[in-house]
Structure 1
Amino acid sequence: MFNNLSDKLDKALHVLKGHGSITEVNVAETLKEVRRALLDADVNFKIAKEFTNKVKEKALGQNVLTTLQPGQLMVKIVKDELTELMGGDVEGINLSGNPSIVLMSGLQGSGKTTFSGKLANYLKNKKTKKPLLVACDVYRPAAIDQLHVVGDQINVEVFSDKGNNDPVAIAQAGVAHAKANGFNVVIIDTAGRLAVDEAMMTEISNIHKAIEPQETLFVVDSMTGQDAVNTAKAFNDILNFDGVILTKLDGDTRGGAAISIKSVVNKPIKFIGTGEKMEAIDVFYPSRMADRILGMGDVVSLVERAQEQFDEEEARKLQKKIAKNQFGFDDFLKQIQQIKKMGNMKDLIGMIPGAGKMMKDIDIDDDAFKGIEAIIHSMTPAERSNPSIINSSRKKRIGKGSGTSVQEVNQLLKQFTQMSKMMKMMQGGGGKRMMQAMKNMPR
């Protein structure tokens, strides 16, 4: 996420992080490189220039040149200005109606239908809501079927009317269905086009007027950079939407859309999509994103994701098994599944301060656990619950069944034994205190 921009900003600020002489001249030179980095990230020239001018003004106003740690203070000013540029405070979603109606808009290919499902899943799990998805894209082939597949995947009902080609009527019927059947959130997926055109804007405007949504969200592909910002402006002129959704932030994103969209349309980024899975949705925190862009990681978001997968009852059962030396490969498999639910592995590592920079050139397969899972699934139930019975002939059979070698099976067994010992040791005071601290952290 924003690797190229992060590298260039780090190089630009590196000279001021050292202990050499800091002057107004090299501050100006550094900010010139910062501006160049922003332009390379496809940030609008005017916005990039205004940004560096503000940073320079604050830097000189706070006497950066005379402080003991000018480099650190300069980084803080850049971080604060980046946060402000991306919106300042976090913005929530308005769910005041009964039902609350959320209208999704955007171009074709922006990930609108998938994100409609992600949002429904998020509201169902995080806000304990009962959402209904409404399929109003009557043009794109299989768009309605796609939304039904998404709905089945997350166990959320989808309302559609395949014989009806009037999206306004479908939207109204969907809202009526929600009211009659106890749904308290309605998410309406509308049609997109390959480019902004009059017919598209008229249609989305008519839907908006007919259903009067509490929340209108514009979904934009973050990989399209400045084009995304221009498209957002065109939609906002017609719809006056409430917020922006940035999708595909796990891809090769330059960062221009995230950094400058708030400045152009004066509407907050509310959510971001960070992967293909239905759980890959995050509330957008400008300050946390600024930290990540500057290579400082995002420990808070990492802990929050871990807490979402933390089940107290399961943790208690696991604790008892460890205490009785009954921790087996079935339990280990459950832990792997929980880690996988937290999101893309490279994205998770990028949240650890300093780790993102170290891992930037290393390709981390999202199926990093695939080999381990294959080995475990090739074991019999008895072998998974009691690994000590796995002898050389069993190892050969497990290796053959999983498409791996005996050496790889041996390596997993060795690592599992070491991990079991470590977990047993953590059953003492230190481990319990850590578990209690995790449980008591604010959610």
Structure 2
Amino acid sequence: MFEAITNSLEGVFSKLRGKGRLTEANIKDGLHEVRLALLEADVNYKVVKDFIQHATERAVGEEVIKSIAPGQQVIKIVHDELIKLMGESDTSIPFKDGEPMLIMLVGLQGSGKTTTAGKLAKTILSKGRKPLLVAADVQRPAAIEQLKVLGQQLNVPVYFETNSQPVKICKNAVKHARENANDVVILDTAGRLHIDDELMLELKEIKEKLQPEQIYFVCDSMTGQDAVNSAKEFNTQLGFDGAILTKLDGDTRGGAALSIRAVTGKPIKFVGIGEKLDRLEEFHPDRMASRILGMGDVVSLVERAQQAIDLEEAQKLSRKIQDDSLSLDDFLMQLQQIKKMGPIKEVLGMIPGMGNKMDGLNVDEKQLLRVEAIIRSMTIQERSVPDIINGSRRQRIANGSGTTIQDVNQLLKQFKSMKKLMKHFKGNEKSLKKMKQLSNSLPFGKGMMR
């Protein structure tokens, strides 16, 4: 995510940090390079111009030039200005009690509205609400079927009608929601390949007749300035309350994320960071600014860990490490919890200092599956006491997991090394060198990153 702009800015800031003393001239030179990095990231030209002007006014002040670490001060200024650019965090959804609350999704065809409707329904489910998905897109032949499949996966009802008009479908859906105690109605409206009068008239009619509490503009972040221009046009003609950026995990530039708030004045509410239905995140400008500058995102990392890792199981695991009774079953459980946190490369990118080191890193997610298959091919006794696994057992495990004896040997060796190092930590917890050795001994360490 945002690898290109992160690497560009890291290069700029490395030069600034390398100077013993900053002057007004080299600060301006550095910010000129920041300007080029933002433009290369497809950030709106006017947005870049204003951004650099504000940053320059702060950076060339006497306080920065005479500070002990002026390079760090400039980085902080850019960080603060990025947060201002993306606006204050606004992820609230104004739920109602007694009456169904309406959320209307709008955007161009191909932006990911229908999938986002499913993701939003899952998010709303997690808040204890009862959403209803509404198939109001009668233009795209597969839209209704796609929404029905998503509804089945989530166990969320989907309202649809055949040979009907969008306004009528939406009205009947609200009535259906009242009768079935659904307190949130998500309207998946039709998109077009481009903005046209017919599309806007249809959306305006739905807005006028149903008065939705929230209208979210859904856009593909990878289209950069095209997404920003579409957002501006939709906001001018229709008006919306917030934006949802899709495919942010594949966006190496970040132009849309950095421009939409400044151009439309409307906040980014959520971002889609993967295809799965649980891959919709609240948008927090401060966290995003830290990611862009390669500072990581510890808060989001902790939130993911809290969702994925069972506290009681973690405490049990800690006791087993202390007792030196860790089994391959425990190891398998930990791998499954790590997988729940998302793609490994994405999780690593949230660790402070890792952002600028992720470029070119090839993370083999399939290695986790191979490790899981090997452990599942073992008997209960073998998982508890790996030392009993002799040559014939290794051959059987390899055959059962579709791997090789070398793969089985490597896992057993890594597990044994890990236990040995963990035992060592009980007497020497401050050994950073040993910690690095431990990370390399894991199957998602050296064997997974090339």
TM > 0.5 fold call: yes
Change (3 A) 1:385 1:153: farther
CA contact (8 A) 2:268 2:283 kept: yes
Deviation at 1:392, TM superposition (A): 1.3
- 1:13-412 correspondence to structure 2 within 5 Å: 13-61=13-61, 63-96=63-96, 98-125=99-126, 127-161=127-161, 163-315=162-314, 327-412=326-411
SS in 2 for 1:188: strand
Deviation at 1:135, TM superposition (A): 1.3
Worse-matched range after superposition: 264-273 or 389-398:
389-398
CA contact (8 A) 2:96 2:183 kept: no
Deviation at 1:174, TM superposition (A): 1.7
After superposition, what is the alpha-carbon deviation per residue over 1:65-124, rounded to whole angstroms, capped at 9, x for unaligned?
Answer: 111111111111110001000113344222236322111111111111111111111121
Distance, in Å, in 1 between the alignment partners of 2:176 and 2:62 is 59
Q: Which letter maps to 1:265?
A: T
Deviation at 1:309, TM superposition (A): 1.6
Change (3 A) 1:133 1:68: same
SS in 1 for 2:192: coil
SS in 1 for 2:60: helix
Q: Which letter maps to 1:167?
A: P
What is the CA RMSD across the aligned residues, in angstroms? Answer: 2.3
Distance, in Å, in 2 between the alignment partners of 1:203 and 1:312 is 49
Distance, in Å, in 2 between the alignment partners of 1:402 and 1:409 is 9
CA contact (8 A) 2:10 2:356 kept: no
CA contact (8 A) 1:105 1:112 kept: yes
Deviation at 1:406, TM superposition (A): 1.1
After superposition, what is the alpha-carbon deviation per residue over 1:318-340, rounded to whole angstroms, capped at 9, x for unaligned?
Answer: 56766777654444333222211
SS in 2 for 1:250: helix
After superposition, what is the alpha-carbon deviation per residue over 1:26-49, rounded to whole angstroms, capped at 9, x for unaligned?
Answer: 111111111111111111111111
Distance, in Å, in 2 between the alignment partners of 1:325 and 1:64 is 53
Deviation at 1:357, TM superposition (A): 1.7
Distance, in Å, in 2 between the alignment partners of 1:329 and 1:135 is 47
Distance, in Å, in 2 between the alignment partners of 1:378 and 1:51 is 57
Distance, in Å, in 2 between the alignment partners of 1:345 and 1:170 is 42
After superposition, what is the alpha-carbon deviation per residue over 1:206-231, rounded to whole angstroms, capped at 9, x for unaligned?
Answer: 22222211111111110000110000
Change (3 A) 1:159 1:356: same
Deviation at 1:366, TM superposition (A): 3.8
CA contact (8 A) 2:27 2:60 kept: no
After superposition, what is the alpha-carbon deviation per residue over 1:333-366, rounded to whole angstroms, capped at 9, x for unaligned?
Answer: 3322221121122111110111122221112234
Distance, in Å, in 2 between the alignment partners of 1:145 and 1:424 is 55
After superposition, what is the alpha-carbon deviation per residue over 1:106-151, rounded to whole angstroms, capped at 9, x for unaligned?
Answer: 11111111111111111212x1222221111112122111112222
Change (3 A) 1:320 1:363: closer
SS in 2 for 1:63: helix
Deviation at 1:20, TM superposition (A): 2.6
Q: Which letter maps to 2:59?
A: A
Deviation at 1:283, TM superposition (A): 0.8
Change (3 A) 1:212 1:15: same
Q: Which letter maps to 1:288?
A: R
Deviation at 1:258, TM superposition (A): 0.5
Change (3 A) 1:336 1:176: farther
CA contact (8 A) 1:319 1:427 kept: no
CA contact (8 A) 1:164 1:170 kept: no
TM-score, normalisation: structure 1 = 0.90
Distance, in Å, in 1 between the alignment partners of 2:426 and 2:181 is 46
Worse-matched range after superposition: 272-281 or 415-424:
415-424
Change (3 A) 1:380 1:146: farther
CA contact (8 A) 2:21 2:70 kept: no
Deviation at 1:167, TM superposition (A): 1.4
Deviation at 1:264, TM superposition (A): 0.6
Change (3 A) 1:323 1:226: same
TM-score, normalisation: structure 2 = 0.88
CA contact (8 A) 1:90 1:286 kept: no
Distance, in Å, in 1 between the alignment partners of 2:93 and 2:62 is 36
Deviation at 1:247, TM superposition (A): 0.9
Gaps of 5+ in 2: 430-450
Change (3 A) 1:320 1:362: closer
Distance, in Å, in 2 between the alignment partners of 1:165 and 1:426 is 67
Instruction: Name the count of aligned residue pairs.
Output: 427
Distance, in Å, in 1 between the alignment partners of 2:154 and 2:425 is 36
Q: Which letter maps to 2:111?
A: S
CA contact (8 A) 1:93 1:270 kept: no
Distance, in Å, in 1 between the alignment partners of 2:218 and 2:207 is 15
Q: Which letter maps to 2:256?
A: A
After superposition, what is the alpha-carbon deviation per residue over 1:181-208, rounded to whole angstroms, capped at 9, x for unaligned?
Answer: 1222111111111111111111122222
Distance, in Å, in 2 between the alignment partners of 1:141 and 1:40 is 38
Q: Which letter maps to 1:355?
A: M
SS in 2 for 1:369: helix
SS in 2 for 1:220: strand
Worse-matched range after superposition: 323-332 or 111-120:
323-332
Distance, in Å, in 2 between the alignment partners of 1:325 and 1:160 is 57
Gaps of 5+ in 1: 431-443
Q: Which letter maps to 2:128?
A: T
SS in 2 for 1:107: coil
Distance, in Å, in 1 between the alignment partners of 2:246 and 2:357 is 25
Worse-matched range after superposition: 32-41 or 404-413:
404-413
Deviation at 1:284, TM superposition (A): 0.6
Q: Which letter maps to 2:284?
A: Y
State percent identity of aligned pairs. 54
Distance, in Å, in 2 between the alignment partners of 1:24 and 1:95 is 50
CA contact (8 A) 1:279 1:341 kept: no
Aligned to 2:437: none
CA contact (8 A) 1:383 1:390 kept: yes
